Structure 1
């Protein structure tokens, strides 16, 4: 939107339609409320923090959850199972302090996330295992025996 006013060659600033380039209240409010709000709210905030990406695979015997979370340690994770809801969370705080003769410099950082998944009733929750290696958290969710896919077989007709 341009706020420039065309000035006639005679130098006069009066114009019959002088507010052509100035938005009316209605269009101005429409512009505010119809724009992408996520860009408005994230423009001045840390946009580097996001939920980790997750792959979920199903095999005949289990479900496998792979979560990409590089830069963390195994001890940074907390896995909880409550009423068939698996919660994966982490919280990491860092503080750096540098003292010199005439100044002290402190920096701190904080990052956290929590992802929850409702598990199917076919998961044997007593046998769930997890490991963390090379920035990938792997969670193995074995199926109950009765839920495991049986191999195909031929049925003889009598």
Structure 2
């Protein structure tokens, strides 16, 4: 916070305010009644209140016995998360609520995103729906969808038959 300019006094002329502790955002707010961060949020969100899209990052992998989904969901509560599996369609949706803002708050950066999200994935056949489990811990969703035993890979042992052994012995 030491790098942030501090505005001192309100009775000085506009020129002296520009020469001391230059804050372009504060100057735009003062001169034009314009808050660039708020306006950008309105443009993106299309409404009065800034709306930033919350798009969580997912990691999806297949192991020999299951499908593993991981998602970064910081600030999402268990109650705000919905996971459904319908046929071969997995849908993960939820929301991250904005924090309470006071009228007197002054933001220097507003980069965190909030809002609702929904992601859907098409799964291959053979998911064991009865044994799926999900855990939300430390802002990371871990979802494990085990495969049915009949679709898991089976190792076939390679060996020699007795007929081949006898044929080699005669030659």
TM-score (norm 1): 0.58
Structure 1 or 2: more strand by fraction: 1
* 1:127 maps onto 2:126 in alignment: no
Q: Deviations over 1:5-26 (max 9, x none)?
A: xxxxxxxxxxxxxxxxxxxxxx
Gaps of 5+ in 1: 1-41, 99-104
Distance 2:156 2:59 in 1: 27
CA RMSD of aligned residues (A): 3.1
Distance 1:58 1:91 in 2: 27
The one of 91, 108, 127 aligned to 1:87: 91
Distance 1:150 1:106 in 2: 65
* 1:141 maps onto 2:145 in alignment: yes
Change (3 A) 1:70 1:96: closer
Q: Deviations over 1:78-101 (max 9, x none)?
A: 111122211100034447376xxx
3-state SS, counterpart of residue 120 of structure 2: strand
Report if the CA contact (8 A) 2:54-2:115 is conserved.
Answer: no
TM-score (norm 2): 0.54
**Total equivalences in the alignment:** 111
Q: Deviations over 1:39-94 (max 9, x none)?
A: xxx99326852421111111111010111111222222111112221110003444
CA displacement at 1:117 relative to structure 2: 1.0
Match for residue 44 of structure 2? 45
Distance 1:45 1:113 in 2: 16
Moved more, 143-152 or 43-52: 43-52
